[in-house]
Amino acid sequence: MGVQVSATVRQIGKSTSEATARNHACLIDRPEAKGGANRGPMGGELMLMGIGGCFMSNLLAAALERGLDLSGASVDVGATLETSPPRFTNIALRVHGGNADPAALREMIATAEAGCIAINTARGATEVTVLPA
């Protein structure tokens, strides 16, 4: 049986919610153009941020295990937004490895991709790709 993980989302304003997990919080909102107060990312943007954050956490762990420094590393996450029904398709991560050796970076990307909960979950619903920049 798996380990239970949870988060709570509660309304704190007309269009704003606060998400909490453990002792961390994040505001979620809509842009003003969509009737929101623009106090935080929309849920879909937060989903992409979560995928990128999950992957980055695993990438940094892979570097640490190898005794490598990935200072300056970043991940750009993009997706195609379809409208009927609204959903993301073709989520793509572009990994910038700072000064990492390209061969070592490819190896760490593969390790991080395999260990990323968010990517493994999203793959069941849509295509997810991870590529070095």
C-alpha–C-alpha distance, residues 65 and 31, integer Å: 40
Residues 54 and 105 in one domain: yes
CATH number of the domain where residue 82 is located: 3.30.300.20
pLDDT of residue 79: 96
Instruction: For residue 91, give its domain range.
Output: 43-132
- 47 plus 32 within the same structural domain: no
**DSSP secondary structure of 17-57:** EEEEETTEEEEE---GGGTS--SS--HHHHHHHHHHHHHHH
State the total domains in the chain: 2
pLDDT of residue 133: 79
The confidence score (pLDDT) of residue 126 equals 67
pLDDT for res 36: 97
Question: Across the 133 residues of the chain, what is the mean pLDDT of every consecutive 10-residue run?
Answer: 92 97 97 97 96 97 94 95 92 92 94 96 81 82
pTM for this entry: 0.89
State whether 47 and 100 are in the same domain.
Answer: yes
Tell me: do 47 and 6 sit in the same domain: no
